[in-house]
Amino acid sequence: MDLLIGTLTLRPYVFGFVAAFLVAGALDLGARRTLLFAAWVGPLAWLAEFASTRIGIPFGLYHYTGTTHGQELFLADVPLIDCLSFTFLAYASLCLARAALSGRRVPAPVLALFAGVLMMLLDVVMDPVAVRGDRWFLGRIFYYPDGGIYFGVPLSNFAGWIIVGTLGVGGFFYSGGWREPTRAFGLSAPSSALPDGFGARYWPGIALYYAVFGFNLAVTGWIGEWVLVMLGASMHGATAAVLWTLSQRPAGRLGLEKQQA
């Protein structure tokens, strides 16, 4: 019980994001599917982290320092909170991908890959500031023994995020968790017609995506890493512009209208 309480109090901002995911997911997917999403993505993330801390696959080799042992829950040498983080990151990325590809008939694997790429783009901001956790309230909880060319992070880490994000979202699609009618979500089959526009169901997840981004960008500025701030802001600003343009393309809507006709 002490470890559970410690897990909740050590990084309360993460549990704020988890709570937002549960609420947004319940409104979007329903409570059962939201829990199924977490039950699929969380263990997958743990397995990826467990493997990476031993053989360097898929994120590259890194190690947890264990400085919070006795203060929070660990599964083997992986903090539970890290596994939980992947659940809301994957869901928020999926919402943004769904909105950007609205009005189009999208194969489920393509949508899953798109969500994986968007999740990786969050980590472009998150991992460099997490590596510098000794300079803010996160603490030095992990390190890459060989460093990395992107502000101390190896490029293999970002490839790993795409893989885990894609498998997490894609596995959920094919696990029986998404069985809404085709006109609503259409992901009961490999090819699906997504709803048109940035619908009300998307917005809570999209807000969560940019809340995570904004939090990490703010911490990056707080520790004085202004080059990272400019890179992160520029990259996500350009990405947001591309996603918005993609969502507004008339061809997608016309294509859906033809299919419905």
Please give the torsion angle defined by the CA atoms of residues 151, 138, 140 and 210, in that order, rounded to the nearest 10 degrees.
-30
Q: How far apart are the first and last CA of the chain?
A: 58
Which pLDDT score is estimated for 248? 82
Which pLDDT score is estimated for 178? 59
Q: Hey, CA dihedral for 120, 191, 246, 207, is it positive or negative?
A: negative
Q: Which of 51, 57, 79, 239 is nearest to 157 (CA)?
A: 57
How far is CA 181 from its chain centroid?
A: 25
pTM recorded for the entire structure: 0.88
* Whole-angstrom distance, CA of residue 45 vs CA of residue 64: 15
Looking at residue 60, its amino acid is G
pLDDT average per 10 residues of sequence, the chain (261 residues): 71 92 93 93 97 96 90 88 94 94 82 96 97 93 95 97 96 71 37 51 92 98 97 97 85 40 38
Which pLDDT score is estimated for 261? 38
* Whole-angstrom distance, CA of residue 97 vs CA of residue 115: 5
| Segment 195-212, tens digit of pLDDT | 544 556 789 999 999 999
